[in-house]
Amino acid sequence: MRFRIAPPSPDLVASAAMKKLRTAVIGTGFIGRVHVENVRRLGIEVSAIGGRRPEAVRAVADALGIEKAETDFLKIVEDPSIDAVHICTPNVVHFNIAKAALDAGKHVLCEKPLATSIQEARTLVETARARNRRNCTCHNLRYYPMVQHMRRMREDGDLGEILVVQGTYSQDWLLYDTDWNWRIDPRENGPSRALADIGSHWCDMAEHITGQRITALCADLQTFHKTRKRPKGPIETFAGKTLSPEDYVPFAIDTEDFASVVFHMGDRTRGAFTASQVSAGRKNQLSIEIYGSKASVAWNQERPDELWIGNRNINNQVIVKDPSLMKERARSYADLPGGHSEGYADTFKQVFRRFYRSIEEPAAEPEYPQFSDGLRQLNILEIELASHQRRGWMEVPL
Amino acid sequence: MRFRIAPPSPDLVASAAMKKLRTAVIGTGFIGRVHVENVRRLGIEVSAIGGRRPEAVRAVADALGIEKAETDFLKIVEDPSIDAVHICTPNVVHFNIAKAALDAGKHVLCEKPLATSIQEARTLVETARARNRRNCTCHNLRYYPMVQHMRRMREDGDLGEILVVQGTYSQDWLLYDTDWNWRIDPRENGPSRALADIGSHWCDMAEHITGQRITALCADLQTFHKTRKRPKGPIETFAGKTLSPEDYVPFAIDTEDFASVVFHMGDRTRGAFTASQVSAGRKNQLSIEIYGSKASVAWNQERPDELWIGNRNINNQVIVKDPSLMKERARSYADLPGGHSEGYADTFKQVFRRFYRSIEEPAAEPEYPQFSDGLRQLNILEIELASHQRRGWMEVPL
Amino acid sequence: MRFRIAPPSPDLVASAAMKKLRTAVIGTGFIGRVHVENVRRLGIEVSAIGGRRPEAVRAVADALGIEKAETDFLKIVEDPSIDAVHICTPNVVHFNIAKAALDAGKHVLCEKPLATSIQEARTLVETARARNRRNCTCHNLRYYPMVQHMRRMREDGDLGEILVVQGTYSQDWLLYDTDWNWRIDPRENGPSRALADIGSHWCDMAEHITGQRITALCADLQTFHKTRKRPKGPIETFAGKTLSPEDYVPFAIDTEDFASVVFHMGDRTRGAFTASQVSAGRKNQLSIEIYGSKASVAWNQERPDELWIGNRNINNQVIVKDPSLMKERARSYADLPGGHSEGYADTFKQVFRRFYRSIEEPAAEPEYPQFSDGLRQLNILEIELASHQRRGWMEVPL
Amino acid sequence: MRFRIAPPSPDLVASAAMKKLRTAVIGTGFIGRVHVENVRRLGIEVSAIGGRRPEAVRAVADALGIEKAETDFLKIVEDPSIDAVHICTPNVVHFNIAKAALDAGKHVLCEKPLATSIQEARTLVETARARNRRNCTCHNLRYYPMVQHMRRMREDGDLGEILVVQGTYSQDWLLYDTDWNWRIDPRENGPSRALADIGSHWCDMAEHITGQRITALCADLQTFHKTRKRPKGPIETFAGKTLSPEDYVPFAIDTEDFASVVFHMGDRTRGAFTASQVSAGRKNQLSIEIYGSKASVAWNQERPDELWIGNRNINNQVIVKDPSLMKERARSYADLPGGHSEGYADTFKQVFRRFYRSIEEPAAEPEYPQFSDGLRQLNILEIELASHQRRGWMEVPL
């Protein structure tokens, strides 16, 4: 029996040096505000915020207590007092801002997808390398404590050979043809919707946990609403309103509401997943199941602090997140004691802490997703779209 | 407020006429014994049992209190005192017994798969029609109360248009290369394993609930164990024993441990499922999720009395089986009041009750799966195997 | 690695000798019909059924295919062709029938509560002993496979010292004042309702699993509906009808809708439970949690095939019932392989199989609840009612 | 159909004015660090941290990037640049610091229990009133989004009359006699352990959600470990170590490991709860079930984003937290869209945001627990301890 001075204390430590870093967030939407709040948990100052419309960005800056509000992102990326930039804009402008920020010597943390084409993403990977700047594609979902525990179980061989990987990323927020968002417009979002927005999270997680690459796939896409109702005028003013015919225009849709994909991984692993924005009742269900020759794991983002471990000859297990029961190398991803839930916001804190630490320690290996990981997802996405077009299996370049 | 004389009483009623029917079960394995026990719940006499080895079948007959024990199935199917025959043997002999029983004028209830080839199955469908005999392929899993509730919800339009159907049938009983069973030997089992044994249950359920047909599919099969260890000598004597090299011979495997399938259904529905006998921790997990334009349902055989109903604009729902909350046309499938669980054995009772009722009432429409449903599953299976061979999409004949 | 000839075969075996036993069921309600059906699974003939109203009992007998229908229970208990009698009537007549049946030399299986007074129950215990007849109080809920697994875990010391036992038996079928059933009338039911009907199941299970006795308790009862609406005329005719004032008479209620109890068990164990018939949404939730110095278990009748095992220094576990993972001495209570659910009806089969086996083997120890167990529950019940009256703690005689 | 510009944006807004507030946290343990991190999310500066040992507090200050580190709490409470003080120390010093801070004109947010005696707590309530300072007892668990949703459902009458309230707060971190923490020593913790530390959270939540007061109770306490092993020397150095006899001294325990309580609430409501620090496998399980005459709710802190709603005549419901489905007056407690989990840390943010807003808006009603709520819990606790001593029911003053 070991002595326990319980409950275990969290690793809330940032550092005095990090405290002096200054950062900026570009994008005033939901995800931009999540970035502001969670970077502040580390004691790092958000000194500027960027957005498209002058009044809107000033209002957000005031509400959040941020000094500078800018509509010209160049003013932010060229501000010498700023060390790093978070890019939280619609996808189509990721590239321009990230490129400019790197060229201006900033470290860059970009929301996913990194870009809307492989060529753009390659340029960003190369620029970051050439400029020697820290770069992160915000695949934050890897950093739920239980996801890291799965990853470390696999690394330690607890699962044996990985046989099967399956799951889904299903949401319902675009179920009706009256649901509207910038992601529906390919001019803001790029050529893929369900796969680019959430399917990429699933594939990133599958490759991250298993340590294997998807090698071949056959994808099938479906757009259930061929036409959606686009509100006329400023979109925010319509939120929650009952729709009249004079309020909208029909908008032809060619990005997918749903996709199903079967795939090969590594040498022998097989799998399947679906991505859906039209699955009634699923609010944010990323579920992934990994079946190995020794044991299995299953996890669902809607209950992030739980992990199911499947066994053949002994009882199955269910973990309620508890650092004292986690793999040692996963433990720093859990800041709270057993049964004290850590949620979506906390995953950002984990990414940001490691991102800013790596700025302070230039020799350290980055422990967060790189721009190259963002490029990887764009490579998979391209093959998924092509497989659907050609209606058949295709190889995925490694 | 309505008056309730609670708890609601079950429909346990068989009938006096049914009581006089006499039946026989061919097959002494696990599933044969399940048939014996559950046909008896209706008050119907099992007057004979058939099996391959004389001592074994006599022993089982004695243990179960059955009068006649036969090794020659013809003695059973030609016995004029017997009204119906249950076929619970290995797959490869289904055809011969079923054909002989129909030819002898018996009503026939056959375990699935109905046969090991489409041609055999077609012959059985035609013979049953020609002989005007009741015929049932035992897709019993349709008859969990919550499955019937899903079906009736769909029929009533509660789900709207079906958009997506997905799920899995995953087990772990063949995870290790030391797991052995007659199903591993294609000479007893036929050319497909995971898809024929459990994938067919999934497809039958998907088509039964949605009322739609799978129209096209792309399947991918994998045999993780290319060689398994076959015990030398009588198999039962090895159950639970530790294996020595002298106890077994290597046995080359070409039937699949796992399959993943993407498919089209009806006009616009899309879906995916996996079938696995090597998924550690999943004992008998048939899970199916059906997403409609109005609402969704999700069900899992490991918790059969529960049903999840997903919604976008109102709360999701979870039913613990309760006849008073079920669709009226599903209610007769639940014999027990709310919260009194009904399990695997009870699904057989539901099939058998309807099968024997239909014998008594020759004009009545059968309310259970026909031989034609067994044929349907063999059609899908053939396309699945061909799709894997050709590595691409194929149309499924309706 | 051990060889597995999977899936494990069930112990469906009754026996040829049992087949020759003949039995009778007295009571035509829901539970009587459950008895008929489940005794038949063993191949035992139900040769008579008893009930109060001549047409009703004849109709049920016909529907179930039972030869004799009797309104005078003496005709059944004195029928020399009958070996055993199942008593499934309202509580107040349990005693008279059981006494007469024992006196006539029958083996008796009686629904719980065994009687409506301790004195009656004592007489039955003594009569059974004097007549040397097999006797069973039908505490069937003990015989879910997972309940037996918990019991065997405790016996093997897997839980360590039992520290805490807690839970509830909650239903909602008497939530409204328009809910009516014979149990509401103390002339049919006796002086306690929630505690007698379902609280007694909870206490029986707690004592059965832990092997300890409740030694002291403090109970608090509440009757939320002081008056209920009793339908005029034959009750069945009102089922599901909308109530008009002329259809009912007010009926004053003094039996409890709800009770909460704190208790001591054994030397140091502490606990609490509630019993409720007015808990909206709980259909038949018997949940019990047992916390030991080494490990814990938690089980819920609404998901009977699952068991949660709680640990401090290793992962918690969740079992989906699987005979191959069960304690060896619990395994015979599971007839089906892993993940094939066993439900409420199956618990009766387990009791009946053991009851009838013990008739055949007069020297064998009974492996089912005795009349003395029924008496034990009446002793606890008496103290619960007295504790509530006196508003304080009371000792429970052992 | 309504237009939805999805996903709904969170209310992450603090305000520019709040940004200028400066605060201090006294206590360097786990909970102190949680306070630092979460107050920073609002953009508020933590300018000082207090602790007992000079090196330790300086180290924590550096690690967290906080300017001032103090061992004399008076230096903090008398610092004119500081607006508010968070008290996160062991319980016995809450009173002295809170009193001094109020006297120095600071707003005070104090961890629970507010004090270790009713007299102290009364003094604090009166001082805060006299000094007209904002005061908060940190019953943060009220502020999970689903808890607020339950509260608003009750306020809106969705549950009808509350009939039954039951549940538990169960943990396992003190299961073994080698588990040690300052809470075990009554000189730091006060005279009650399980009830004061976690039972008080349960009672606060029960009264908060139902809007009713506990009026009478009967409590039963148990100390399973009469002696625990106290490490010699500085405690932190022993964390996770294997214990040798020379490392510890026996320490006699008289505070409770476990308590069970039955109670009356309001006029007719009945209930029961347990509080346990020795329940293996329960990491932080606060579960509460509230049964009303119309509907029920059940919630469990280990799955905080889920809510079960129980019904009799319609399906039960299960919510995965989704602001668009929440009661309007509960919605501001959910900052993230549907299915994006909010955890333990987020509850602190909700309390702190409202606390600091109320400092800026002196006329506003406080929307967080007051010192008077802390006093209320001490009143209940006193009666619980007395009821156990007297072994009987006692009235609780309102």
- Provide the pLDDT for residue C107: 98
Mean pLDDT for C128-139 is 98
- Provide the pLDDT for residue A233: 72
- Residue B51 has φ and ψ, to the nearest 5°, of -160, 175
CB spacing of C310 vs D262 below 8 angstroms: no
D4 → chain A, closest CA residue: A179
- Provide the pLDDT for residue B190: 87
Please give the full DSSP string across B42-96, using - where no structure is assigned. TT-EEEEEE-SSHHHHHHHHHHHT-SEEES-HHHHHT-TT--EEEE-S-GGGHHH
- Provide the pLDDT for residue B245: 79
Q: 3-state class of C187 per DSSP?
A: helix
Q: Which of B171, B217, B223, B296 to mutate to test the interface with A (most CBs of A within 10 A)?
A: B296
- Provide the pLDDT for residue C8: 42
CB spacing of B294 vs A316 below 8 angstroms: no
Mean pLDDT for A269-285 is 98
Name the minimum distance, in Å, from the CA of B52 to any CA of chain C: 17
Q: Which residues of chain A lie closer than 8 angstroms to B271, CB-CB?
A: 260
Name the minimum distance, in Å, from the CA of C110 to any CA of chain B: 20
Mean pLDDT for C333-354 is 96
Cβ contacts below 8 Å, chain B against chain C, sum to: 249
pLDDT-based confidence at residue A245 (cuts at 50, 70, 90): confident
Q: Which residues of chain C lie closer than 8 angstroms to D240, CB-CB?
A: none
The more confidently predicted of residues C398 and A164 is A164
Name the minimum distance, in Å, from the CA of B155 to any CA of chain A: 18
Q: Which residues of chain C lie closer than 8 angstroms to D300, CB-CB?
A: none
On the question of pLDDT at A14 being above 60, the answer is no
Q: Looking at chain D, which subunits does it touch, using at least 3 CB pairs closer than 8 Å as the criterion?
A: A, B, C
Name the minimum distance, in Å, from the CA of C316 to any CA of chain A: 5
Question: pLDDT tens for residues C266-323?
Answer: 999 999 999 999 999 999 999 999 999 999 999 999 999 999 999 999 999 999 999 9
Q: Which of C150, C308, C317 to mutate to test the interface with A (most CBs of A within 10 A)?
A: C317
CB spacing of B283 vs C322 below 8 angstroms: yes
Report the distance separating Cα D283 and Cα D170, nearest Å: 7
On the question of pLDDT at C236 being above 80, the answer is no
CB spacing of D315 vs B316 below 8 angstroms: no
Question: pLDDT tens for residues D335-368?
Answer: 999 999 999 999 999 999 999 999 999 899 999 9
Lowest mean per-residue pLDDT among A326-335, C10-19, C254-263: C10-19
CB spacing of B316 vs D317 below 8 angstroms: yes
CB spacing of B280 vs A295 below 8 angstroms: yes
On the question of pLDDT at C157 being above 50, the answer is yes
- Provide the pLDDT for residue A131: 97
Q: Within chain B, which residues score under 50 in pLDDT?
A: 1, 6-10, 12
Mean pLDDT for A65-75 is 95
B26 contacts B32 by C-beta, under 8 angstroms? yes
CB spacing of C163 vs D268 below 8 angstroms: no
Mean pLDDT for C39-64 is 94
Question: What is the residue type of B286?
Answer: L
Q: Which residues of chain A lie closer than 8 angstroms to D322, CB-CB?
A: 283
- Provide the pLDDT for residue D256: 98
Question: What is the residue type of B6?
Answer: A
pLDDT-based confidence at residue C197 (cuts at 50, 70, 90): very high
- Provide the pLDDT for residue A79: 96
Task: Among D314, D318, D324, select the one facing B316 at the smallest CB separation.
Answer: D318
- Provide the pLDDT for residue A247: 84
For residue A337, say if its preceding peptide bond is cis, omega within 30 degrees of 0. Answer: no
User: What is the residue-averaged pLDDT of chain A?
Assistant: 93
SS (H, E, C) B162-219: EEEEEEEEECCCCCCCCEECHHHCHHHHCCCCHHHHHHHHHHHHHHHHHCCCEEEEEE
On the question of pLDDT at A8 being above 90, the answer is no
Name the minimum distance, in Å, from the CA of A14 to any CA of chain D: 6
CB spacing of D391 vs C393 below 8 angstroms: yes
Residue B336: C-alpha distances to residues B321, B324, B342, C50, C224 (Å): 9, 11, 7, 21, 27
Question: pLDDT tens for residues A135-190?
Answer: 999 999 999 999 999 999 999 999 999 999 999 999 999 999 999 888 899 898 88
Task: Among C313, C314, C320, select the one facing A316 at the smallest CB separation.
Answer: C320
Q: Which of B293, B318, B320, B321 to mutate to test the interface with D (most CBs of D within 10 A)?
A: B318
Total-model pTM: 0.95
B311 → chain A, closest CA residue: A281
Name the minimum distance, in Å, from the CA of C171 to any CA of chain D: 10
Task: Please state, as a whole number, how many other Cβ atoms lie within 10 Å of the Cβ of residue C67.
Answer: 12
B86: which strand partners? B25, B109
On the question of pLDDT at A209 being above 60, the answer is yes
On the question of pLDDT at A10 being above 60, the answer is no
Q: Within chain D, which residues score under 50 in pLDDT?
A: 1, 6-10, 12
Percentage with pLDDT > 70 across chain B: 93
SS (H, E, C) chain D: CECEECCCCCCCCCCHHHHCCEEEEECCCHHHHHHHHHHHCCCCEEEEEECCCHHHHHHHHHHHCCCEEECCHHHHHCCCCCCEEEECCCHHHHHHHHHHHHHCCCEEEECCCCCCCHHHHHHHHHHHHHHCCCEEECCHHHHCHHHHHHHHHHHCCCCCCEEEEEEEEECCCCCCCCEECHHHCHHHHCCCCHHHHHHHHHHHHHHHHHCCCEEEEEEEEECCCCEEEEECCCHHHHCCCECCHHHEEEEECCCCCEEEEEEEECCCEEEEEEEECCCCCCCCEEEEEEEECCCEEEEECCCCCEEEEECCCCCEEEEECCHHHCCHHHHHHCCCCCCCCCCHHHHHHHHHHHHHHHHHCCCCCCCCCCHHHHHHHHHHHHHHHHHHHHCCCEECCC
CB spacing of D261 vs C261 below 8 angstroms: no
Name the minimum distance, in Å, from the CA of A297 to any CA of chain B: 9
On the question of pLDDT at C11 being above 80, the answer is no
Contacts of B193 (CB under 8 A, 6+ apart): B183, B184, B255, B256, B257, B277
Q: Looking at chain B, which subunits does it touch, using at least 3 CB pairs closer than 8 Å as the criterion?
A: A, C, D
Residue C259 structure tokens: 């009770």
D134 contacts D21 by C-beta, under 8 angstroms? no
Q: Which of B3, B276, B347 to mutate to test the interface with C (most CBs of C within 10 A)?
A: B3
Report the distance separating Cα B138 and Cα B147, nearest Å: 15
The interaxial angle of helices C200-210 and C371-390, nearest 10 deg, is 120
- Element holding B119 (H helix, E strand): helix B118-131
B294 → chain A, closest CA residue: A280
CB spacing of D318 vs B319 below 8 angstroms: no
- Provide the pLDDT for residue B236: 62
CB spacing of C316 vs A319 below 8 angstroms: yes
- Provide the pLDDT for residue C233: 72
Cβ contacts below 8 Å, chain A against chain B, sum to: 139
- Provide the pLDDT for residue B15: 57
User: What is the residue-averaged pLDDT of chain D?
Assistant: 93
Percentage with pLDDT > 90 across chain A: 86
